[in-house]
Amino acid sequence: MTKPIVAVPADIRTLDGANWHAVQHQYVRAALNAAGVMAFIIPAFEEGYDTDAILDRVDGLLVSGSASNVHPSLYGVESRESDGPFDPARDATAIPLIRRAIDRAIPLLAICRGIQELNVALGGSLASEIHEQEGIWDHRKPADVDRDGMYAIRQSVFVKEGSCIARIIGPGEIQVNSLHRQAIARTAPRLQVEAIAEDGTIEAVSVIDAKAFAVGVQWHPEYWAETDKPSNQIFAAFGDAAREYAAGKMQPAAVHESTL
């Protein structure tokens, strides 16, 4: 059996005056080396996509983090310039893919911006600039550090007993690398909270009625997926789900005996 293939929706990035469809290397590297799957980068367009045509050809959906934020109009809030930057093409590509992947029982792992897209896709809302709220820590990346320092594992989250993630990495306190300025505000009705930070910020969710692996985390397991045990376990579980889905697609159709 060949490696399963997972779709990774791209961001739009402008370099030298040209628009590029891009995904950070850390996500596709983790997909290959920790999940054991191949990643296909899906270009981001605001219209014209056939979502099912994409999902027909893959065995999972990996929704990555990004520097951009989900546009507030998608969860019923007026946008402010400070809420940006925005990427409407990413929104228009990733959110329909999330909804249809869940409908079709295609394994889904959503990270950072991805968990926020998952929440919005299923009817939830987001809070901006959470560090300005009373009692909420500053979850933003630290200043004046290199990339390893930015993604350093330094924050406690508490995984709920009996949750989907608890079955993968165990319940209780773990250390993660969570860096973000937005977070889930109103949790979508179809999502179960799986893990929270000490300040109450939602750090992981799962889709309650999903028929396949469907998990979102606010932290970044992809960055240390080859060396950090909980990060590796999350990607390994996603890879196993993609392999199971791919194997199911390869089963021959049932043969029905004709009656003459």
Instruction: Give the active site residues.
Output: 112, 220, 222
The answer to whether the CB of 236 falls within 8 A of the CB of 31 is no
Q: Which helix (H) or strand (E) holds 205?
A: strand 202-207
- Let me know if 220 is exposed, middle or buried by CB neighbors in 10 A (0-12, 13-18, 19+): buried
169 in Cβ contact with 159 (< 8 Å): yes
In whole angstroms, give the CA distance from residue 142 to residue 162. Answer: 33
String of DSSP letters for 135-194: T----SPPSS--HHHHT---EEEEEPTTSHHHHHH-SEEEEE----S-EESSPPTTEEEE
**Extended beta strands in 4-148, E state:** 5-9, 11-15, 18-22, 38-42, 60-63, 108-111, 126-127
Residue 42 and residue 45: Cα distance in Å, rounded? 9
E strand or H helix at 36 = none
Q: What is the CA radius of gyration of the chain?
A: 18
